[in-house]
């Protein structure tokens, strides 16, 4: 006689105990976790601007004089050589002036005074130096003589 194997049925998964365990684990982790302080509540002082105890009088305007021999003078001080096209010393000084004027709450004003016989390229070199220092308030004046 032939023995018939029992009929195999599809196993079932009961969802109710799984959901109960999930909620129990969730409650367990919520109760046992430690709260982390947000970064805003930490006593950290970030670097920033310091208020000056004594006010510094900044000149209202810086005068750049361009002479016909190619010399560039800022407030009667010669910057760079007469054949330097990028004027790195002037750019560095103008950048410091802009930052100081911004910190003092004013505007960095520049006036370019060129002699009549100055090559146009030299004036453009000075204007490029002002642009490299991110100065926007640049004006022109007649000759210093």
More confidently predicted of 83 and 92? 92
- Position 59 scores a pLDDT of 58
Nearest Cα to 135, choosing from 104, 106, 97?
97
CATH class of 62-141: alpha beta
Nearest Cα to 97, choosing from 77, 69, 70?
77
- Ordered by start, the domain boundaries in the chain are 62-141
Name the percent of the chain lying above pLDDT 90: 10
| pLDDT tens figures, 119-128 | 888 888 888 9
- Position 47 scores a pLDDT of 64
- Would you list the DSSP string of 86-141? S-HHHHHHHHHHHHHHHHTT---EEEEEE-TTS-HHHHHHHHHHHHHTT--EEEEE
pTM of the model: 0.56
- Position 11 scores a pLDDT of 80
| pLDDT tens figures, 131-143 | 898 888 888 877 5
């Amino acid at each position: 006689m032939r023995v018939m194997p029992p009929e195999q049925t599809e196993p079932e998964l009961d969802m109710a105990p799984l959901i109960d365990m999930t909620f129990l684990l969730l409650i367990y982790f919520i109760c046992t976790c430690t709260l982390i302080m947000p970064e805003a509540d930490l006593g950290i002082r970030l670097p920033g601007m310091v208020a000056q105890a004594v006010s510094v009088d900044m000149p209202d305007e810086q005068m750049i004089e361009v002479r016909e021999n190619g010399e560039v003078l800022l407030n009667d001080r010669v910057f760079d050589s007469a054949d330097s096209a990028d004027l790195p010393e002037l750019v560095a000084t103008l950048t410091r002036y802009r930052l100081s004027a911004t910190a003092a709450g004013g505007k960095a004003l520049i006036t370019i005074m060129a002699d009549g016989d100055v090559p146009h390229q030299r004036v453009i070199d000075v204007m490029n130096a002002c642009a490299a220092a991110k100065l926007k308030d640049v004006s022109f004046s007649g000759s210093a003589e």
